[in-house]
Copies of this chain bind each other. A is one copy, B any other.
Amino acid sequence: MDRVVNFSAGPSAMPLEVLMRAQSELVDTNHAGISVLEMSHRSKAFEEILSNTKQLLRKLMNIPENYKILFLQGGASLQFSMIPLNLLQKDHEAAYIITGSWSQKALKEAKKVGQTTVTATSEEDQFRQIPDLSQITHSKNLSYVHITGNNTIEGTRFTHLPKTDAPIINDWSSGILSEEINVSDYGMIYAGAQKNLGPSGVTVVIIRDDLIGHAPDGLPTMLNYETHTKADSLYHTPPTFGIYMIGLMLEWIDSLGGVKEVERRNREKASLLYETIDQSTIFHSPVKKEDRSLMNVPFKTDSVETDRAFLHFAAAKQLVELKGHRSVGGMRASIYNAMPLEHVERLCGAMREFEETMK
């Protein structure tokens, strides 16, 4: 079958070059005489992959030396528990800024562990914006402030950070490597790989080293960040193929000119799509302009039937996985790093064409 244009929110489209490179190496990787799928995680061949991947991520995100990089299993969802289990100190609170379903899930897990506080939420506004952060104050005994930097489902993104002395922890699953940020503004950044980084099954954790080593006794060994930092992600068998694929994705980003160039492309793609939506008389964006995500673009018509008709219309043009999340409805186009401008143009073209047929 011809290659289709895949707007999935994750696992999501990967660059054809990266897939072809992985394909060409799948039986014999890096001239090792075996596949990366068969490499012992303790072998030189794999340790080289691991260390190169880590170094390249450090370079591309400009990660300071006092931050550790981990490749873990369990998805961002397991981080929702690992974060409070490791970092929520006794007699302290964890603050959550609630901007969508993922932050709600993160909060739910933290509540099982200790004291939490919601310092801002845009729930009353159906999460159509990021709450005003200039107003909020944070108490003194906070272990951390948790944000969802890009809201995959609702299509919003943080452009400012809350003011706080506590470490800010960012679930950046759907934003990582999409734009330049200052890592040292955060105590920890984490991301499931299956959007901008690679296949599902690897979670990248970037954590400031002073936050490690304070977990309570009795915490399961596998849930303690210290276990994995001490062993350099090799305490047990890591998801080796996923780490290898992240390496290929990072090399591809590097070859384009790094995150700066990727951000330029992402802004270009997102502008085009939002303009098309805003200019359209039938499609509209539910999201406040200033807070619109560069990665996940929800849009709707005024009727469920018209939404459905558009989804069919688009699918016939090989534009797939455009259905919005069930909690939001309508359409959602996820346009991660791997999505070329040309594919966004095809979507915009289809939207205009569909609008014509509706006249």
Complexed CA–CA distance, A43 and B200 (Å)? 14
Q: Check A222–B74 contact: CB distance below 8 A.
A: yes
Q: Determine whether A8 belongs to the interface, using a CB cutoff of 8 Å to chain B.
A: yes
Contact B318 A33 (CB under 8 A): yes
Greatest chain B CB density within 10 A among A14, A31, A74 is at A74
Given A74-B74, A81-B221, A222-B78: A201 and B34 interface contact (C-beta under 8 Å): no
- Residues of chain B within 8 A (CB-CB) of A38 are 6, 8, 11-14, 19
**Residue A23 at the B interface, CB < 8 A?**
yes
Instruction: Tell me the bound Cα distance from A220 to B8 in angstroms.
Output: 28
Stretch at the interface among A164-172, A182-190, A233-241: A233-241
User: Could you say which of B11, B37, B109, B112 contacts A39, with CB atoms under 8 Å apart?
Assistant: B11
What is the CA–CA distance of A192 and B239 in the complex, to the nearest angstrom?
A: 11
A 25-65 binary contact with B (CB < 8 Å = 1; else 0):
01110011111011111010000000000000000000000
Any B CB within 8 A of the CB of A155: no
CA–CA, A242 and B75, complex, Å: 14
Q: Are B1 and A32 in contact (CB under 8 A)?
A: yes
Chain B residues within an 8 Å CB radius of A34: 3-4, 6, 13
Chain B, residue nearest A192 (CB): B237
Bound complex: CA A9 to CA B14 (Å): 31
- Taking the complex as formed, is A2 at the interface, i.e. its CB lies under 8 A from any CB of chain B? yes
Asked whether A240 lies within 8 Å of B12 as measured between CB atoms, the reply is no
The residue from B74, B75, B239 contacting A78, defined by CB atoms under 8 A apart: B74
Specify how many copies of this chain sit in the oligomer: 2
Do the beta carbons of B321 and A40 come within 8 Å of each other?
A: yes
Q: Which residues of B contact A22 (CB under 8 A)?
A: 26, 37
Determine if A220 and B28 form an interchain contact, defined as CB atoms under 8 angstroms apart: no
With A75-B237, A201-B239, A238-B200 known as contacts, the answer to whether A28 contacts B3 (CB < 8 A) is: yes
State whether B35 touches A200 (Cβ < 8 A).
Answer: no
Separation of A192 and B23 alpha carbons in the complex (Å): 25
CB-based nearest B residue for A219 = B112
Taking CB atoms and an 8 Å cut-off, the chain A residues in 57-107 that contact chain B are 73-78, 80-81, 85
- Considering the chains assembled together, what is the distance between the CA atoms of A244 and B202 in angstroms? 16
A20: Cβ under 8 A from any B Cβ: yes
Task: Give CA–CA (A112, B9) in the complex, Å.
Answer: 38
Out of B73, B112, B200, name the residue touching A220 (CB < 8 Å).
B112
With a CB–CB cut-off of 8 A, which chain B residues contact A150? Answer: none
Report the bound CA distance from A80 to B220 in whole Å. 9
Task: Offer 6 A-B interface pairs, CB within 8 angstroms, sorted by A.
Answer: A11-B41, A11-B240, A20-B27, A33-B320, A73-B74, A200-B237
Q: Which A residues lie at the B interface, using CB under 8 A?
A: 1-4, 6, 8-14, 16, 19-20, 22-23, 26-28, 31-35, 37-41, 43, 73-78, 80-81, 85, 108-109, 112, 192, 194, 198-202, 218-223, 235-242, 245, 318, 320-321
